[in-house]
Amino acid sequence: MLSAIYTNERLFLRIGLAVLALAVLGYVYTGFPPLLVAPMLWLYVVLMLKNWKMAYWLFLFFIPLSVRFSFSGNSLSLCVPDEPMMWSFLLLGLLLYAYEPSALKGWWYLNPLVLVVICQFLWLICSAVYSTVPLLSFKFLLSKIWLLAACFVMPIWIFREKEDFKMAFLILLTSVLFTILGIFFSHSTTNFLFSDIHRAAGLFYENHVEYSSVISMFFPFVFIACLWLRDRDKRKARWMFVIACFFILAIFLSYARAAVLAVLFSFFVYYAIKKRFVRWIMPAIYGIIALMLFYVIRNEKYLELRPTYEQTYMNWDFSEHMKATFKGRDESSMERLYRWIAAIRMSKTKPVFGYGPHGFYYNYKIYTLRSFKTYASRNVEHSTTHNYFLYMLTEQGYPAMGLYAFLNIVIFSQAQRIYHRFKDRFYKLCTMGIAMLFAASFVNNFFSELVDTHKVGALFFISLSLLVILGRKSREEQNAVV
């Protein structure tokens, strides 16, 4: 049938015209703009079947540029065009696996990173079954399936040679830079006011938190590119250095404190991998957090942190915003504390399966403490815990939170092992860049919950897949030397 599409131009044209007509009629009837994407999706599917590697590069390019459309009273949403592209790669992945099942045998299934992701997915299914919001949880489960298919499984067939790694970097760099330039120009019209960053970031991202997370997570690759080019092409190295400086400026002007900490932590992980002690970082951080929680919960010391409602507000000047943060009067920080307390109290009621994916918002308010309430507590944007650990805890229970915590340990442990196993400098630097990305991701998601969003999630799972692939390449290199 596929060959008939390419050899019979009339059939191709008829199908394309039928898709176009149905899309226009659907839009006229429903007024839903994403329907107009259907003809382009048809062309994309044809491209995929003819040259699926080129189709994947196109998918990477559109990840940062995609926008979200909400419908059904904002209860459902669709990211266009990258989410429909993910559907296509889910189908293609099944076809490729049927054709080459050996691609996923042994080395892939037995990798600890893959095993943890599989366990996370299986537990997600269990949590969705016991969900308090079954429709939303089912939609979340579906979106997770095509996210994992396109970003975690599909790279196995894409990233075979060094040129594939370079191509992916250049495509994503071009796309991310385009969004930064657009936001930078829009933000400049108000002299980069702190109060205007939400509007400016809204050109391509949900908010300035998602924007800052994406660029702070991608920045390590720009830094690594500077190191790679330094001794190879001085002119390109200078240009990459300029781009790196522009990224740093963009991160600062995103006015997201977590993003700044994320970049700093990524450089600490860079040093830790070099010195071979990165595997102890996550256990040490978890231990410190556990001790702090034990201290503040045992004697109800956390009650001393409650804010004064009238004095806790959003500052529209960044310097004042930072001052308020240290004084405990910053609205966003105090609202996080408000949600975190609610999340911990919620976990006592449903500790195993949680409330189900997307279940936090519909259940958390009865568990809040009014003394921690802020002006943002109305939560008109339906945001959640502002912490990925607690997000997992409330929506999927302690097993899900434990798996995410363990995944972070395995990531850094494997990254250190792979980095020092490689002799090839290019792959060593790729491994380091991925480890630094996960360091930035850890900090960003400690203050938000973006791993399951289509932009941050795509970067996260593609990088996770690349770490698995690099692990295999490092072992092949080691065996070849022996």
Written as tens digits, the pLDDT of the chain (482 aa) is 444 444 555 666 667 667 767 776 776 676 666 666 777 777 777 778 778 899 999 999 999 999 887 665 555 677 888 888 899 899 888 888 888 777 777 788 889 999 999 999 999 999 999 999 999 999 999 999 999 999 999 999 999 999 999 999 999 999 999 999 999 999 999 999 988 999 999 989 999 999 999 999 999 999 999 999 998 999 999 999 999 999 999 999 999 999 999 999 999 999 999 999 999 999 999 999 999 888 877 766 666 666 654 445 455 555 554 544 544 556 677 788 888 989 999 999 999 999 999 999 999 999 988 777 776 678 877 888 999 999 999 999 999 999 999 999 999 999 999 999 999 999 999 999 999 999 999 999 999 999 988 899 999 999 999 999 999 999 999 888 65
- In this prediction, residue 36 carries a pLDDT of 66
- In this prediction, residue 305 carries a pLDDT of 61
Contact partners, residue 36, CB within 8 Å, separation at least 6: 23, 24, 27
Q: Are 418 and 467 in contact (CB under 8 A)?
A: yes
State both tokens at 445: 């998601």
Across 316-344, b (16+ Cβ under 10 Å) vs e yields: eebeebeebbeeebbbbbbbbbbbbbbbb
pTM: 0.90
Q: Are 372 and 334 in contact (CB under 8 A)?
A: yes
Cβ neighbours around 426 below 10 Å, total: 12
Cβ neighbours around 292 below 10 Å, total: 12
State both tokens at 404: 């995410």
- In this prediction, residue 2 carries a pLDDT of 44
363-372 LR contacts (CB < 8 Å, sep 24+): 363/132, 363/394, 364/339, 364/394, 367/342, 367/343, 368/338, 368/339, 368/341, 368/342, 369/306, 369/338, 369/341, 369/342, 371/303, 371/306, 372/305, 372/306, 372/307, 372/334, 372/337, 372/338, 372/341
CA distances from 15 to 4, 40, 481 (A): 12, 12, 53
